[in-house]
Amino acid sequence: MRKLATIVAAVVALLSTAVAFTTQPAGAQGARIHLLHGIPGVDVDVEAGGSNVFEGFSFGDTQDLSSLAGETLTGLKVKVAGTDTVAIEAGDVELPGSGNYTVIAHLDGDGTPSLAVFENDTSTIAAGSGRIVVRHAAAAPAVDITANGDVAFSNVLNGQEGSADLGAGTISAGVVPTGETSPVVIGPADLPITDGSSLIVYAVGSLADETLTVLTESIADLGSAPAAVNTGNSPVGQSNTALVVVAGLAAAVALGFAPRLSRKRS
Amino acid sequence: MIRIPALSFHAWPCNTRQTPPTTPRENWLFGWLSIVALIIVGCSSPTAEASSVPLDVPPALAASVSGARSPATDVEQPDDGLADSDAHSLTQSTPAERETPPPASTATAVAKATPAPPVAPNPFIDQISSLPPAPQGLDALVGDPDPQPVRLRIDRLDIVAATVIDVGVNEDETFEVPPADKVGWYRFGPSPGQAGSAVLAAHIAFDGVDGVFRHLEDLKPGDRVEVSYDDGSTSAFLVESITEYDKQSLPDGLFAKDGPAKLALITCGGAFNRQLRSYESNTVAIAKPL
């Protein structure tokens, strides 16, 4: 039985995320595993356990495999939709027992359909910040990713990603070939940096075929509440208390002495 | 407001692991995938442009596909491999065919002889569920914001039209409390009335000056709170509870971004620590939409 990591290594020669799978301890912690279709224009059926588990899987479609965490998908095949033409013969695939992954069917740098596994960073994000992750999953050369006009990540290859936690708000992001300003691969476009959320942007499609586009994915609830709400730096009624005391004394004086004075006068 | 300098680039660990020596099995897989990729390309791109997609399969790999299959399968999948499964089904079909009555038998006999093989329920199909498709493109990501609160009215506290401004967090991630005469709406949470816990916070006292929420603890359940928004609308809330929390133990849900809509009014309370110039508690009033 081969792990998905092995398949990725063998089929795609994209060894990067293999580490994540092989080092991931299988356990009952639960996992979040999404399968994303990132090849424009190709519909597929996916078979496992001897029959189709879902059909007509189209570009952008997403399937949730989380319930199968720690289990082994036997006889996994990706077939051209409505046919028996096997696109990917994946064999038995052991899914991790814990962790957060997105498996994307995409084109590698040469335009060959491939599976890539990205482990999603679900570490806690500071209050007031959001996470942006840009992943190169397109048949395109190395790219630079720009943020607000500056190159934020340079020379990003297919299968690689750039990631940053930024103050919540909006940034203008774009993708261009490394060291160039054109042709524009993506954008620049406004991206929301949302407090406590991770926005994952996949560059997919093919530069040569002019099918480049993006898919996005969000992971929420990674944020923090403000560390504290410090709504006071002075004791309440400091000045008021003094006034009350003064007023009280004045009243006492008035009540206590005024009659005496008046009596004296009388 | 946006800070870019902290950007870091995380190259995938792939840079540290290069292609391992390929086994015949892997060659087999790669070869088949390449072939299959060609099939996909052929099926999906009937136009001449399809030829622009790389079609060249390395001859060595192509050769290994046919040459490596049998031994690789034998070596690496002795038990449950796909090829073996196929082999089993083939051998099993032979005796079944022998038992098939001759063609001359009656229709009932034929029907009896070819019962549909029991289809084992797929063990995975019920555990896989469709999710909404991933959004395509970047245009729709920045949506229209909800109306933002601009004024607050609480008759019980003689707050007639306190100014509400949007606030975030300070450098140290503490709540960015506005000046004493204003109320701060936490812009990273929901707007009052939207799903989740909308937070309005104001000073109890700052530099000896009473803050807008000086008397927040005097609220009573059932008191009315009115919020006016930047689109001219107003909505009303009714106070449900007033609670004093240790400042380090605010409830988790106070800044919830989803769940039932509620409005949290927060100020300081409890003992004042003169050394730290800070209160030890927070007074929190929770109100629900009317």
**Could you tell me the mean pLDDT of each successive run of 10 residues in chain A, 266 residues long?**
40 33 44 94 91 93 93 88 85 89 91 88 96 94 89 92 92 88 81 95 91 93 94 75 47 48 40
| Residue B197 identity | S
Mean pLDDT of B110-116: 53
Fold for domain A1-120? Answer: Immunoglobulin-like (2.60.40)
Task: In whole angstroms, give the CA distance from residue A196 to residue B67.
Answer: 53
Phi, psi (5° rounding) for residue B175?
Answer: -60, 135
Q: What is the pLDDT of residues B156-194, one digit of tens each?
A: 999 999 999 999 999 999 999 999 999 999 999 999 999
Q: For residue B159, what are its two tokens? A: 């707050």
- Smallest Cβ–Cβ distance between B54 and the set A73, A111, A171 belongs to A111
Fold for domain B149-289? Answer: Sortase; Chain: A; (2.40.260)
Please tell me the predicted confidence (pLDDT) of residue A264. 40
Show the 3-state SS of B205-233: EECCEECCCCCHHHCCCCCEEEEEECCCC
Q: What is the pLDDT of residues B216-242, one digit of tens each?
A: 999 999 999 999 999 999 999 999 999
Residue B20 has pLDDT above 60, yes or no: no
Where do the structural domains in chain B lie, given as residue ranges?
Answer: 21-103, 149-289
Cβ distance of A159 and B44 shorter than 8 Å: no
Residue A84 CB burial class (10 angstroms; 0-12, 13-18, ≥19)? exposed
Please tell me the predicted confidence (pLDDT) of residue B115. 59
| B-contacting residues in A 12-41 (Cβ below 8 Å) | 13-19, 34, 36, 41
Where do the structural domains in chain A lie, given as residue ranges?
Answer: 1-120, 123-259
Q: Are strands A98-107 and A62-64 parallel, antiparallel or unpaired?
A: unpaired
Q: In what order do the strands lie in the sheet with A169-177?
A: A150-156, A143-147, A169-177, A186-193
Q: Are strands B224-229 and A62-64 parallel, antiparallel or unpaired?
A: unpaired
Please tell me the predicted confidence (pLDDT) of residue A185. 77
Q: What is the pLDDT of residues B62-95, one digit of tens each?
A: 222 222 222 223 333 333 333 333 333 333 333 3
Cβ distance of A10 and B168 shorter than 8 Å: no
**Residues whose CB falls within 8 Å of the CB of residue B74, separated by 6 or more in sequence, listed in order:** none
- Give the residue among A37, A95, A92, A88 at the shortest CA–CA distance from A66: A95
Q: What is the pLDDT of residues B36-67, one digit of tens each?
A: 444 444 333 333 222 222 323 233 222 222 22
What is the number of other CB atoms lying within 10 angstroms of the CB of residue B170? 16
Q: What residues of A are in contact with residue B85 (Cβ under 8 Å)?
A: 75
Residue B273 has pLDDT above 60, yes or no: yes
Longest dimension (CA), chain B: 107
Residue with more model confidence, B106 or A114: A114
Task: In whole angstroms, give the CA distance from residue A193 to residue A164.
Answer: 10
Q: What residues of A are in contact with residue B213 (Cβ under 8 Å)?
A: 231
**Residues whose CB falls within 8 Å of the CB of residue B214, separated by 6 or more in sequence, listed in order:** A236, B157, B203, B204, B205, B267
- Please say whether the structural domain A123-259 has been given the CATH code 1.25.40: no
Q: Is the dihedral of CA A47, A51, A53, A56 positive or negative?
A: positive
pLDDT confidence of B287, banded at 50, 70, 90? very high
Q: What residues of A are in contact with residue B124 (Cβ under 8 Å)?
A: 48-49, 53, 68, 71, 73
Please tell me the predicted confidence (pLDDT) of residue B117. 61
Same fold, A1-120 and A123-259: yes
**If you search the block for the tokens 């019962």, which residue do you land on?**
B115
- Chain mean position to CA B103: 60
Please tell me the predicted confidence (pLDDT) of residue A252. 52
Residue B5 has pLDDT above 60, yes or no: no
Please tell me the predicted confidence (pLDDT) of residue A29. 55
- Smallest Cβ–Cβ distance between B2 and the set A48, A166, A228 belongs to A166
**Residues whose CB falls within 8 Å of the CB of residue B212, separated by 6 or more in sequence, listed in order:** B152, B159, B162, B180, B181, B182, B183, B202, B203
Residues B27 and B65 sit within 8 Å (Cβ to Cβ)? yes
Cβ distance of B120 and A54 shorter than 8 Å: no
